[in-house]
């Protein structure tokens, strides 16, 4: 009968130690870290690279949660997964959306290219063999990557992300692009999409809208359009805003700028599913294979081409800013020449044929 108090004391001590340990686990922050790790592992069906998420948000206290459709069109189909990851100690978050490319009707919206006259939008290629780009607009950073499935006819995966851009973190654009590519790679394995991913993203160009380049120094997306510098100057163009030209970029932009810093013309190229939105939008008037200048109310000139592996024809557009009264048909010779040179060079770099010009 005497050993019973010993057993009772032993059980009590064990319970006390367990309670102390549980309290330490909870109040020390270990529980939050465990819960955050579990939520990240489950977010987007486990497609997220935890280190990549933390790097993109510049935080170790990151939690995964469900996402909500916010900027894609109604009726979008083909979604594979959708989630949001948030810095638990701040306001930063990244939203991740993964789709089947053949069923995604609003791919252009992922890069804010559903409209081709907005002068704020300049796509910057991710590069390094990835078919992807990032776009900065209104302090938000958007990104998209398309990964073709070699074992599925006319099929691909499209990963799009967006987050608030933090100018205090120079590496954010690179880390953001890295996260997009890592999700694409994981998604391909998850759904059985045989693919040819690119390499690790070492760096990505800064936002080009902040730096105009003189005509004679253009070496990127605008170079073909202003090769005839005298013709460009005669129409009022003195500088350009451009991004590096990349044969894998799904979107390319070029702005021709006057002496007052106003964008006179925007040139845009879109490939694969990213050409869907503007071509089939109700107000764009870009549904044909090409469009001539001079039509009443027309602020566009456009061309298309057939590109390897793409079901959709690529799209090349010259348009004016909605805040600029100049129409392409006011300078038809220059506008047509600029579009022709831009489209020919871009199509050639992407291996496209059957270019149809207005």
Q: Are 105 and 276 in contact (CB under 8 A)?
A: yes
Lowest mean pLDDT among 61-70, 166-175, 237-246, 270-279: 61-70
Give the list of residues 6+ apart from residue 17 with CB closer than 8 angstroms, or none: none
Spatial distance between the Cα atoms of 320 and 299, rounded to a whole number of angstroms = 6
pLDDT in tens, 42-82: 778 888 888 888 888 888 888 877 655 554 444 457 889 88
| Segment of 26-35, 51-60, 166-175, 303-312 carrying the highest mean pLDDT | 303-312
Report pTM.
Answer: 0.85
Q: Are strands 79-87 and 62-66 parallel, antiparallel or unpaired?
A: antiparallel
Spatial distance between the Cα atoms of 317 and 270, rounded to a whole number of angstroms = 9
| 178 has a pLDDT exceeding 50 | yes
Residue with tokens 């879109």: 270
Across 285-310, average pLDDT = 79
pLDDT in tens, 109-120: 899 998 888 888
- Looking at residue 148, what is its pLDDT? 93
């Amino acid at each position: 009968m005497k050993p019973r108090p010993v057993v009772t004391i032993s059980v009590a001590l064990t319970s006390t130690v367990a309670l102390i340990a549980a309290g330490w686990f909870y109040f020390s922050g270990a529980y939050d870290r465990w819960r955050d790790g579990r939520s990240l592992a489950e977010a987007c069906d486990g497609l997220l690279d935890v280190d990549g998420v933390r790097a993109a948000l510049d935080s170790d206290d990151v939690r995964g949660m469900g996402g909500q459709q916010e900027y894609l069109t109604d009726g979008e189909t083909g979604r594979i997964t959708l989630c949001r990851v948030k810095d638990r100690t701040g306001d930063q978050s990244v939203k991740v959306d993964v789709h089947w490319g053949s069923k995604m009707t609003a791919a252009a919206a992922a890069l804010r290219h559903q409209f081709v006259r907005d002068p704020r939008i300049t796509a910057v290629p991710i590069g390094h063999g990835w078919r992807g780009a990032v776009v900065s607009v209104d302090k938000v950073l958007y990104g998209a990557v398309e990964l073709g499935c070699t074992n599925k006819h006319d099929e691909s995966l499209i990963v799009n992300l967006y987050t608030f851009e933090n100018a205090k973190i120079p590496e954010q654009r690179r880390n953001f692009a890295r996260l997009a590519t890592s999700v694409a790679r994981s998604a391909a394995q998850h759904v059985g999409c045989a693919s040819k991913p690119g390499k690790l993203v070492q760096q990505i160009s800064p936002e080009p809208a902040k730096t105009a380049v003189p005509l004679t120094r253009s070496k990127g997306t605008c170079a073909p359009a202003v090769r005839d510098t005298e013709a460009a100057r005669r129409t009022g163009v003195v500088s350009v805003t451009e991004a590096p030209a990349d044969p894998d970029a799904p979107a390319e932009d070029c702005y021709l700028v006057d002496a007052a810093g106003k964008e006179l013309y925007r040139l845009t190229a879109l490939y694969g599913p990213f050409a869907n939105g503007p071509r089939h939008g109700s107000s764009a008037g870009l549904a044909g294979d090409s469009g001539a200048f001079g039509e009443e109310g027309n602020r566009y000139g456009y061309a298309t081409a057939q590109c390897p592996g793409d079901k959709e024809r690529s799209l090349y557009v010259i348009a004016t800013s909605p805040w600029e009264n100049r129409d392409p048909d006011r300078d038809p010779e220059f506008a047509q020449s600029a579009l022709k040179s831009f489209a020919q060079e871009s199509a050639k770099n992407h291996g496209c044929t059957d270019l149809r010009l207005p």
